[in-house]
Amino acid sequence: QRLFFTCRAPSVFCSSLTAHKQQSVRSYAAAAAAKQKEKKEETVQEKVVKEKKKVDDKNRHKPYGLTAWAPVDDVYMVRYYPRPPVYTNLRLDMKLEKKKKVDPFVSIIHLPHPFKSDINKIVVFTENPDQARIAMENGAAVAGGAELVEKILADEITADFYLAEPDIVQKLLPLKNKLRKKFPKSKRGSVGMNIPKMLALFKSGHEYMVEDIYVNTQVATLDMPKEYILENIRAIVKDVASHKPAEFGPFIERAIVCSRSSEGLHIKIEELLPQEEKKA
C-alpha cells in the first residue's frame, strides 16, 4: 500500500497594507482647551482683584503700647515697643579635675534692681497646719499637704514655684514628671524648714539655669539706667561664679549683653568678677 500525503499551504488572509486605518477623533478636544484658557484668564483676573491694597501708615495714629503692625526693618521706635528686655549670655567652663565636670544647675537670686512688678505664685507643701497658716501669711498662693497632689495633676492648681518641707517630699513623688524642673529640691533651695525665708526669696527672686555650657537670662529692660543694668549683670555673674571652686580656674569664659533690637556687645568679665575670682 502506498501512503499518499497531501500538503496544503495554510490559507492566510492579510489585509491590504494600504488599507485605511480608522482612528478615533475627539471632536471636543479643541473646545475643552479653549475653556481651560478662559478659566486661566479668569483666575488671573481674580488674583489681581484680590490683591490687598497697601495702606500708607506714615501719618496714621498708632495705638498706645504695642504697635499694630510689625516693623519692616531693624529700626524700632522705643515709644511703640515699651520696655524691651535686655539679656546676658554667659559661656561657662564646666571642666573640673580629670574627667569631672560641674553639673548643670538652676539658681534663684534677688536682683538689686528688679524689672518685674508682679509677684511669683507659690505653692507650699506642709502637713503642719501652723506652718500652712504662716505660709499663707507670708504670701503663698496655696498651702497644704498631700491632698494637693491630685489637684495639681488635674491642672486645678498651677504655680511658678513649689516649696516643701523635708518630711513631705516622699509623698510628692507622683508630681515629679508633672513638675519636672519645678519639683521641690534641696539643691535649689525649695526644700527646707524656714518657710518665710524661702517665700521671701521665691516671691520676687529671679531664676536662671545652665543649659549645656551657657546661661542665657534676662537681666533688665532697656529703659532702665545703665548703672542698674550693670549691677544686675554683676549680681548674676557673682552667683554663677560661686558654683565652681576658684582653684579650678575661671568659671565664666565670656559674657555678652544684648536686646531684641540691638546687636550683642562683649563685656569685660574681669570687671564683674569678685576679687577672689580675679586673683585666681
| Cα angle: 174, vertex 212, 240; to 5 degrees | 90
Q: Output helix, strand, coil percentages for the chain, rounded to the nearest 5.
A: 35, 20, 50
CA distances from 185 to 174, 192, 198 (A): 14, 9, 12
Residue 63 in grid coordinates = 495705638
Instruction: Decide if 229 contacts 84 (C-beta within 8 A).
Output: no
| Distance (Å, whole) CA 25 – CA 203 | 85
pLDDT digits (tens, 9 = 90+) for 228-245: 999 999 999 999 988 888
With 90 as the cut, is the pLDDT of residue 131 above it? yes
pLDDT digits (tens, 9 = 90+) for 56-110: 555 544 444 444 455 555 566 656 666 789 999 999 988 888 788 888 888 899 9
Which parts of 51-162 fold into alpha helices (H)? 129-137, 148-153
| Distance (Å, whole) CA 193 – CA 124 | 11
Instruction: Decide if 270 contacts 278 (C-beta within 8 A).
Output: yes
pLDDT digits (tens, 9 = 90+) for 135-183: 999 999 999 999 999 999 999 999 999 999 999 999 999 999 999 888 9
| Structural domains of the chain sorted by starting position, each given as residue range(s) with its CATH number in brackets | 76-116+207-280 (3.30.190.20), 121-204 (3.40.50.790)
Enclosing H/E stretch for 143: strand 142-144
Q: 57 in helix, strand or coil? A: coil
With 60 as the cut, is the pLDDT of residue 7 above it? no
